[in-house]
Structure 1
Amino acid sequence: MSFIVLACALVAIDGDTLRCGEETIRLLGIDAPELPGHCREGRDCAPGDPFAAKAALQVAARGEATVERIGRDVYARTLARVRVNGVDLSCSQMTGGHAIYRPDWDQFQLVATGCGLPSDAKPMRRPSPRPRNGPAERAAPSVSTGWSYRNCAEARRAGAAPLRRGTPGYGPHMDGDGDGIACEPVRR
């Protein structure tokens, strides 16, 4: 394990992953909601609003960062505990409701210990709070994914359109013809 003070600006890729220059850093012990199109079929993805999780991580990542590198994951990302201005970002994301605890991803129980979780902590399952205002606000949750885009324009801006029923971000209010495909291109 190595502790290094970073000399770069951390950029949130999503609610549990950061970029520092060329290095991709995956926060240890947590799972945040996946951005549209990233939750593969058959995978049990974290609940909540992925845009709120990413925004919260970006805000929390401002300041002097210390990285405790633990290893690498199967995607060659650095697995690490990251502290910014002394605050552990894994703990911050869980406390804010933007990520769930994954004991199977917490090597040596470092996050459980650092965040004050009980020694027999189970995966935490609680959805992220939804933002009340602004462009990331979502419409009523869809039955299949827990959240949906407010409209097709928002889905297109995010690069997620067209959306199929059952995928993150899909909402029946965007599927005018009821065929299970929302925000499809207009046929002329």
Structure 2
Amino acid sequence: MAGKMDKKVIIVSTVVGSLGLLSAILGFSAEGTKITISDIRVVGDECLYPQNAANALAISGAVFLLMAQIAVSAIGGCCGCCKSRSIPSETKRIIGVVCAVVSWIAAGFAWVLFVVGATGNGDGSRATWPDCYVLKDGIFAGAAVLALVATAFGIASYVMLRRQAGEAPGGKPAEQPPLAGIAMGNPHFPPPPPSHGPTAW
């Protein structure tokens, strides 16, 4: 049973970690490919922004982060609320819930940065000269870092909220069922009837 539980933790951590890491990689890639001031063309007094891959990278990063959050929350028992029987102890439950809350907060900020970055990095004509603005540095990179933080706390929450093998709810060792088998001991026979001497006729 312990082997199965450990294997499940490894699989869940690998899947969720891969989704979070992919989200972060896409965020850093968006940071490196976003529109810069040198990419803007000025036609008359209009600032023309070219099409850019950073928007698609940012949206994809937000989607992968959402998948990671939903996966770890669903498998982990809705942050400790859906599967109360699987919570190992009160202390671990509190730590697990705190980690889950921090994970969702970090993910929320990451999503905001992804969306704000994608909006501010759109193509077309959005301003007039000399007010040709570009997205500030660090928006997508910040989203990527927060994606890593959210993923790490999500995995930590899952590990804290799962019940260890052989451990009953409440953190106490599970009681072992009685062994079935043949009772051993000395046989008990009824006492022999009292013996009487020969009866005279």
Q: Normalising TM by the smaller chain, what interval?
A: under 0.3
Higher-RCO chain (CA-CA 8 Å, sequence separation at least 6): 2
Structure 1 or 2: more strand by fraction: 1
TM-score when normalising by structure 2: 0.23
TM-score when normalising by structure 1: 0.24
Structure 1 or 2: more helix by fraction: 2
Bigger Rg, which one: 2
